[in-house]
Each structure stands twice: as C-alpha cells, then as structure tokens.
Amino acid sequence: MAKFDKQAVLAKIKSAPMVPVFYHKDLEVAKAVLKACYDGGVRAFEFTNRGDFAHEVFGPLVKWAATECPEMALGVGSVVEPGTASLYMQLGACFVVGPLFNPEVARVCNRRQVPYTPGCGSISEVGAAQEAGCELCKVFPGDVLGPKFVKGLMAPMPWSKLMVTGGVEPTAENLSAWFKAGVYCVGMGSKLFPKEVIAAADWARITDKCREALAACTR
C-alpha cells in the first residue's frame, strides 16, 4: 500500500518540483542514490521499471526508504500496462509514471487512489488523460516537443498540471525555460546521474546537483 495518497504526492512534487528518474540493478547503489537525492531536497523519486527483476530491487528499496528517507514518495516509471502498475502498487509505489497513456493503467491506479502520470505527446492525449483522472500528465519526449508546446497547451487549458521528461538538464537556463512555459515539475534522469558519478560513488555530487537544480526550479 502506498505510504502517501494522491494529494500528498502532488503536494510533495509542488514543493520540490523535480523528480529524479533512476534505475540500477544493485540495491545498495539504488539506496545510495535515493538518499543522496533526499539529502538534496528531493521528495518524489521515480524508480524506472527497465531492468530484469527490477521489482525485486524496488520492494526492498521501499522498505528501506520508509525509515531512512521518511518523507520521500517513491514511485515507479516506464509502466505501459496495468499488470505492471498493479505489481508495483502492491510493493508500495506511491505513484506510477509511463511513457505513454494507457486508460487501463489509469483504471487500476484510480482504484487504489494512486496518481498515474502518463506520457502524452499531443494536446488531445493530455485531454484524454485528464478525463481518465490523471491530475498530472507527462510531456514526453520533452526535447522533441519543447517549452513552446507547454506554453501553447497552457493557454487554452490553464488548469493542466504538466511534468516534462526527456532532455531536461540541471541548468538554470534549461529549467527556467520549462517553468516559465508553465510546467508543474520536471523529471530528470541521465543528466542528473552521469555514469562516471555513479561509478565513482560520488553521492555528495548528486546531493549538490539536486540542491542546485531545485533552486533553479522557479515558477
């Protein structure tokens, strides 16, 4: 069961509007990265379902985070079908993110009152997702659609809460462009976790980068 309900998760993301996107097959590495982000001010973290047996890392990570990162909402990403969403919700996922919009995923998430953030590449997809109960939609891929897409969508649909993922960089210039366009939050993966930093176990650098990026996330 999710530790935080839908409104609590959205409130956490609003207060710290950057969601790190990360996967590693080694539980200890995942713990270290999660704690580094937590120490940097992050309060919502997306563990992606990208490797074999990824759920076997996620389950213990949720249990560990309950005591070591008590205010962190831990969710799952790269979910494309309802079975996977249900599996991760059973393991304690506080939110579900996908690269695409699947109404059946929305159905199972709504049943548990777990927020579902689907990937949308058009205004019509965002509208359909909102009708299915998705309060936060993901603009994806962000580097293809760009800030102008967000600004254009927000004009006729100002109630929309949008998270952009794909091509987001931890720089003041990049983040400022997205937030000025009107995003609710950003998702960030490889730019936040360079391979050499993970290989060197330089967790302090990740903490500093999270802190700097969050400071640049101004609406």
The string of DSSP codes covering 79-97 is --SHHHHHHHHHTT-S-EE
Q: Amino acid letter at 152?
A: G
Q: What is the pLDDT of residue 4?
A: 97
Residue-number span of the structural domain to which 68 is assigned? 6-115+169-176+186-216
The pTM of the full predicted model, rounded to 2 decimals, is: 0.97
Pure H helices in the chain:
6-15, 27-39, 54-68, 82-90, 103-112, 123-131, 142-154, 172-181, 195-199, 203-216
- 52-79 residue pLDDT tens: 999 999 999 999 999 999 999 999 999 9
Task: Decide if 129 is inside a domain.
Answer: no
Select from 181, 171, 198 the least CA-distant residue to 18: 171
Q: How far apart are CA 174 and CA 154, in angstroms?
A: 19
Tokens of 163: 């998270």
pLDDT of residue 178: 97
What is the predicted pLDDT for the residue at 141? 96
Residue 6 phi, psi (nearest 5): -55, -50
185: CB partners within 8 A, 6+ apart: 13, 14, 17, 18, 19, 136, 163, 217
Residue 211 has pLDDT above 80, yes or no: yes
Is residue 15 a contact partner of residue 213, using CB atoms and an 8 Å limit?
no
Decide if 60 is inside a domain.
yes
* pLDDT at residue 219 tops 80: no
Res 1: pLDDT: 87
pLDDT at 218 over 90: no
CATH value at residue 46 = 3.20.20.70
Domain-embedded: residue 87: yes
pLDDT above 70 as % of the chain: 100
pLDDT in tens, 121-141: 999 999 999 999 999 999 999
Question: Does residue 44 form part of some domain?
Answer: yes
What is the total count of domains within the chain?
A: 1
How high does pLDDT run on average in the chain?
97
Task: Please give the single-letter amino acid code of residue 80.
Answer: V
Q: Using the predicted structure, report yes or no on whether residue 157 has a pLDDT greater than 90.
A: yes
Q: Give the rounded percent of residues in the chain with a pLDDT score beyond 90.
A: 97
Structure confidence by residue, pLDDT tens digits, 101-116: 999 999 999 999 999 9
For the record, the structure tokens of 20 come out as 């790190």
Q: Which of 86, 88, 18 is nearest to 50 (CA)?
A: 88
- Whole-number pLDDT of residue 31: 98
Whether the predicted pLDDT of 118 surpasses 90: yes
Judged against a pLDDT cut of 90, whether residue 185 lies above it is answered with yes
Examine residue 147 and state whether it is found in any structural domain, yes or no: no
